[in-house]
Amino acid sequence: MTRKIGLSAQGRAFLSTLRIGQGEAELERLGLDPEAIGTLLAAGLLEEQGTTMPPADYQDTFGGWRSQKGMLIDDERTLGFDRAIRAQVGPGDRVVDVGTGSGILAMMAARAGADKVYALEVTAMADWAERLAARNGLANMEVVRGDAALFDAGAPVDVLIGEFAGMWFLEEWRHYAAFCQVRDRWLKPQGRVIPSAARLFLSAVDSRKLHHERGWGFFDQPVYGFDFSEVLTSGAHRPARYILSAEWKSIVATQEIARFDFKSGNERDYQFTTETSFLYQASGMFHGFIGHFTLDMAPGQTMSTSCGARETCWHQSYFPMPAIPVPAGQAITARLRSFLTADTEVLKFGITVAGPGQDLNTQAEHVFDLE
């Protein structure tokens, strides 16, 4: 005779406490022993999820006014979000701002007429967001402290807002992971996300100044008459990714290397490998790449961090590479790889480049930390 098995009252109570992203210790405290957790993992009823909780140094940075002001003072960025919010938020909407910081985007959503705005923030800034919402009379804005991935909206929401763009977009992968978890759990099928997509670009750059001051150029030449080249060839010094200010721009050719859809994608999309080439119309030098990105904010509204656009707090990123001369009409080819390492959970970006006539497979990869 087959047994009839159903959920007990205790089981129902247990399931009602389950949340996305709970730690194993918490599950044990709720009554599951490690063996039972193993069985549920094997059956696919539980799954391992990457942590969305940002590390302590990240929380120190975003928990203070220095970084929050650095973002607020960028009016290209902040007014861009305001425009997108005004276009897509209105009366009747329930809105979630994932990673609210000072609360600014949540306040904008409340000003745009939303019925209810949840402002989620993991750092101590949550206290300020709450204080400023009260100061500005925004009674329909509720600040929720803690990892956004654990947020319980109680009912589906209409709009999700997230400003999870890092300096070269990809750095904030953990924040984006939390955004995806809120989206998958609470956003209505026809709901809107702000921004809705991003595109990532690299431009080959020919700049003796950048190469000399921030790239491989300085130790390539005699230093006050002495040979210092071993500093580079030994690997003792590797020029790191450098955030550019407006005066350095010597773009040769630009390629889109990745695009992300925030309505349907997830943080695993941030790990990719692609190959592309950069054509030199006139002869010149290759001194590395400059990276920028664009964000689709609302239908017909795109924000760009390109060299030609108005400067933003993201500026552009310079990835220095050893110099390669490129004759007119020839191209350099690049293999570009974005990946996470299990030990540090820092996103890395690997660049392998072949000049004209070189084989990409025999060239060394240069790996940059995206922090």
Ligand X SMILES: C[S@@+](CC[C@H](N)C(=O)[O-])C[C@H]1O[C@@H](n2cnc3c(N)ncnc32)[C@H](O)[C@@H]1O
Binding site for ligand X (CB under 6 A): 52, 54, 62, 71-72, 99-102, 104-105, 120-123, 125, 147-149, 163, 175, 178
Q: Can you tell me the distance from the alpha carbon of 200 to that of 292, in angstroms, rounded to the nearest whole number? A: 6
The yes-or-no answer on residue 163 being catalytic is yes
Nearest CB to ligand X, comparing residues 101 and 320: 101
Nearest CB to ligand X, comparing residues 176 and 219: 176
Q: Shortest Cβ distance from residue 130 to ligand X (Å)?
A: 13
State the catalytic residue, choosing from 163, 171, 247, 256.
163
Q: Shortest Cβ distance from residue 125 to ligand X (Å)?
A: 5
E strand segments, the chain? 94-98, 116-121, 141-145, 157-162, 187-194, 197-205, 242-244, 251-261, 272-279, 284-298, 301-304, 316-326, 331-340, 347-354, 365-370
Q: Shortest Cβ distance from residue 165 to ligand X (Å)?
A: 7
Q: Which residues contact 344 (CB under 8 A, 6 or more apart)?
A: none
Q: Shortest Cβ distance from residue 371 to ligand X (Å)?
A: 14
Closest CA to 331 of 365, 366, 282: 282
Give the 3-state secondary structure of residue 177.
helix
Nearest CB to ligand X, comparing residues 85 and 354: 85
The residues facing 348 across adjacent strands are: 339, 369
Residue with smallest beta-carbon separation from ligand X = 99
Residue 220: C-alpha distances to residues 4, 205, 212, 228 (Å)? 77, 18, 9, 7
Nearest CB to ligand X, comparing residues 132 and 252: 132
Q: Can you tell me the distance from the alpha carbon of 228 to that of 218, in angstroms, rounded to the nearest whole number? A: 9
State the catalytic residue, choosing from 121, 130, 171, 172.
172
| Residues classed as catalytic | 163, 172
